[in-house]
Amino acid sequence: MTPSDTDNPLLRLRVHEPPPFDAIRPEHVEPAIRELLADLEAALPEIEADVEPTWESLVEDNARRFEPLHLAWGAVGHLTGVRNSPELRAAHETVQPAVVQFFTRVGQSKPMYEAAVALRDGGRELDEGQRRVLDAAILGAELSGVALEGAAKERFNQIQSELAELATKFSNNVLDATKAWELILTDPTEVDGLPSSARDLASQSFREAKEQESTPENGPWRITLDGPSFVPFLQHATRRDLREQVYRAYVSRASEGGTDNTGAIDQILRLRDEKAKLLGFAHYAELSLARKMAGSVDEIRTLLEELRSKAWPAAVTDHEELQAFAKERGFTEEIRQWDAGFWAERLREHRYAITDEQLRPYFPLPKVLNGLFELAERLFDVKVLAADGEAPVWHKDVRFFRIVDAPTSAPRAAFYLDPYSRPAEKRGGAWMDDCLGRSKTLAGPGESIRLPIAYLVCNGTPPVGERPSLMTFREVETLFHEFGHGLQHMLTTVDTEGAAGINNVEWDAVELPSQFMENWCYHEPTLRGFSGHWDTDEPLPQELFDKLLAARTYRAGSDTLRQLYFGFTDLALHDGYLPSAERTPFDVQHEVAAKCTVLKPLPEDRFLCSFSHIFAGGYAAGYYSYKWAEVLSADAFGAFEEAGLDDEAAVQATGHRFRDTVLALGGSRHPMQVFEAFRGRGPSVEALLRHAGLTG
């Protein structure tokens, strides 16, 4: 090891501790990853020669060997999402092919695969969780091409590498296209209708981007395609021509010039189809479903169609009401895509006399966090404690928390929270990921278990000046959602890392705890606990709560149809379709839109070019999972409703049962068995339809 290598934090990682994010630099990435790869590549022949069909040899020993690379590459991948830069991107792209090649090689290791099969079939004593891990490892090897030989294997490996590079390219293009577009406004009439919070943010955005003076009252103002800027502009700006300009820019992101993802979409779809056929599947959707709860594409379509049949008439009514309302107020034209958000907000204000701006002051982030943590204590008997400074962070706004058992104060887990939008370096959306997983094998010296640590990442409205982040109610729901994911990762009681937390949970069940937590945002005692005026701590007025509750199902048909549109499009692109000049992916999109959108997309709509969930994330042929898991999550919340939401003892008892099944068991049992252990029966779609107001 050279002297400079001793200073490389990625080579000094301890597998039972979080990475030193304050010390990792782009220049550390390539030398560290190449050294870790070289060491493992050199050791691999010996590892394969020595592997035995025992749990210790196959699982535990290999976990210890491979974890330093997993941890280092995971830290690099995390930083590309939250602290992206040209230098980090270049370093990541330089070593990514070698990393993919190595893990493909491990996945295709016949000695390891044969040892796993022998262990599974050998009659040795294994618990249910171990058997699930073993089955997943065997399936993973088969889906990694372990049975392929010769030219087929070589082509498969090439596809794996190309797909990884294309996913990274796709994500970077979306980030760059979002970052590159801006609308600078200088005339106060151009921001007419924008609430004060949106003007404040637009003024702050201009100051930061241009390093020039701006005030919320007099501008200039900078509008971007980042959610906290884009959404309020479409909802409130009275200048229709500017709304149109912003909308068209948003739906055409990453579809032209140097950030054009059109070609990448074609390549990704072709390569996925070829990969599936090499493995003996009819199409990529069939390959994807090999790891999911759903048994077939037909089964998924049946569920989605059941929901669509309920949502379509409601969405048609939504649109007719919107058009009539706008006409009553002097709007003589047909509502277009850039009008829908604006008039929907006006109708919401009229019907429920409630706006996001009325609610924002009552949802300052610190107050919301306190209430969320109190809910976790009530339901799951754990305490969340601020631990800022106890772990290095990648940005000054990132916070660190620890979770302890409430009765005993025994440590359970920890998590980072990165709450605010940073469009120059952080990808959009919100997500949870694992930093460290619970593991007996990877425990530190003198410790019996390695405790889990999660990343919770949001893109909420940042603080402006001395004022804290004032959240929209949707941002509150998003925070609860990601915390739900985090709870499944952090409150697991499974000690085998391969089945602990979210590991080995079928993809279409993984949204259950996250969507379950969103329901508590509408539970009045809970909401009272996480709301209060940021300046006076005045409680949310009863009148506003009543209006918020009444507005919960507002445009539920339209919202449901939107998610179904994405899910049906994803399936249509992955179950046998191949791009051609005669039928492009955008043609497929518009075919689906004909039955899933009341207001049809523009001919030039290119939303697929920024559909990162399926082209750069893990949702390919799996976007339906949101609705599939929403059935489970709504029914799970139904258990609390049946127990009596006003009966604190019953709520706590039900919460403990949820903790001890859904959150604790992770991937150690099939998700349907876990759900039935909690609910006492299989899932029903009725609760979802009832919560969405679609039962009529």
Residues annotated catalytic, as ranges: 482
Structure token digits, residue 505: 């949970």
**Cα 233-360-538 angle, rounded to 5 deg:** 160
Structure token digits, residue 448: 């019996």
Q: Which residues contact 506 (CB under 8 A, 6 or more apart)?
A: 291, 292, 293, 670, 671
Torsions phi, psi for 457 (to 5 deg): -120, 125
DSSP for 134-185? HHHHHHHHHHTTTT--HHHHHHHHHHHHHHHHHHHHHHHHHHHHHHH--EEE
Torsions phi, psi for 300 (to 5 deg): -65, -45
CA dihedral 11, 17, 23, 28 (to 10 degrees): 30
Helix-strand-coil split of the chain, %, nearest 5: 60, 5, 30
Task: For residues 28 and 209, give the distance between their C-alpha atoms in angstroms, rounded to a whole number.
Answer: 29
Report, in angstroms and rounded to the nearest whole number, the Rg of the chain calculated over CA atoms: 25
Specify the amino acid at residue 387: A
b or e along 171-206 (b: 16 or more beta carbons within 10 Å of the residue's beta carbon)? bbbbbbbbbebbbebeeeebbebbbebbbbbbbbbb
Q: Which residues contact 213 (CB under 8 A, 6 or more apart)?
A: 207
CB 183 within 8 Å of CB 223: yes
Task: For residues 633 and 687, give the distance between their C-alpha atoms in angstroms, rounded to a whole number.
Answer: 9
